[in-house]
Amino acid sequence: MKIKIFISRILIPACMAVALMPVSARALPETNRSLLLGSSAASAVTTYAFSFKPGTGGNIGAIKFELCDSPVESISCVNSGNSSGASFTSNSASIQSQSGISGFTAGTGGGGSPPAPTANTFWITNGTPQNVLTSTQVTVTFQNVRNPSASNVEFYGRITTYTNSDGTGEVDFGAAAVGTTQQITVSGNMPESLVFCVGTSITSDCTTISGSSVNLGTFSPLITNTGTSVMQASTNASFGYTISINGTTMTSGLNTIPAMGTQTLNSAGCSPSCTSSAGTSQFGSNVRANNLATASPNSFGADVSGAGGASGSGGYNGVNSFRFFSGDTVASVNGPTKANTFTNSYIVNVGGDQAAGQYTATMTYICTATF
């Protein structure tokens, strides 16, 4: 009788083999990593701010910063050739600031210090390792680092921390992507400019001005008749602008109402008078806020307004003081200015013997900029 012998094999699942493999403990990667460039322009010499939180809390005695084509630690740090890639050494980079840590200095390669800077690598070290928590944001900013010479190039900032001041005892590693960009040039032309407008009403700027007629009403020896117009000006002229008033006093045929103030160009004199006097035939103007007991309404006009630096000039800049002489300067500024709005106040007084008629005057304001 033949006896069959069966040999059974015990199969060990592959997963059990894994359990027998050695496990290597590795520190956690750094978090909150970033690399901020002061400028992303190709070939710019600028600041590089490396920032991170340690993945593992504990002593840090040295930190290595690298500029590489790859973020992978196991791949050698190459940066597109030092002649065109980002570089620590082409413009003598140095530590500008540090936060979250203190007292770290550049490695020199001597006396137990990590290596001195190379094009791709910059070590910093502290003779007394510091205990840095995982919650601490560490930022180290370098100045005079040169960007790659090509635009739209991506590269990586690697950060490796070490326990010991001589750069041994690696703790954490991390990397942050960054890149150069094509610069966009935005241009335009500002020509020599003078914006000037005249009317009887303005809301904000010269696009809202309107009106061309001022009605002073019916004259009487008992009251002072008043009215206003407005004008606004701005310029980028190096020597500013002047605004002159040009025209004639109030006339009706051959009859006139005498102008106020001394009748010479830009005079400060007041003969005849610059003061309003009801019952005396007078015509005058200024650019101020006024208040006259004999006027109706008593208050009229306004002081200069707006963000510019212009002001009323000469005899036209006194409260309750008026004059008129064709060609006089009524307002001015001696340099570039934003817009100012001026209110031109007009008064008419008449004597009891002033000839009847329809009196009119046409005022032309001329703004002259000097560039």
pLDDT computed for residue 14 by the predictor: 33
pLDDT tens per residue, range 94-139: 999 999 999 999 999 988 899 999 999 999 999 999 999 999 999 9
pLDDT above 70 for 83: no
Does the global pTM surpass 0.95?
no
pLDDT computed for residue 77 by the predictor: 92
Helices (H), 201-283: none
pLDDT tens per residue, range 134-168: 999 999 999 999 999 999 989 999 999 999 999 99
pLDDT above 70 for 332: yes
Mean pLDDT on 78-101? 86
Residue burial 100-125, b: 16+ Cβ < 10 Å; e: rest: bbeebebbeeeeebbeebebbbbbbb
Tokens of residue 341, six digits: 């709005």
pLDDT above 70 for 5: no
pLDDT tens per residue, range 216-255: 999 999 999 999 999 999 999 999 999 999 999 999 999 9
pLDDT above 70 for 327: yes
* Helices H / strands E in the chain, number of each: 1, 21
Domains of the chain (ranges plus CATH)? 28-179 (2.60.40), 194-369 (2.60.40)
Going through 71-181 in order, the beta strands assigned E by DSSP cover 94-99, 105-106, 121-132, 138-146, 154-162, 170-179
pLDDT tens per residue, range 187-201: 999 999 999 999 999
pLDDT computed for residue 4 by the predictor: 40
Whether 304 contacts 311, CB under 8 Å: yes
pLDDT computed for residue 344 by the predictor: 98
Taking only Cα atoms into account, the Rg of the chain, rounded to an integer number of angstroms, comes to 42
Mean pLDDT on 284-295? 97
pLDDT computed for residue 22 by the predictor: 33
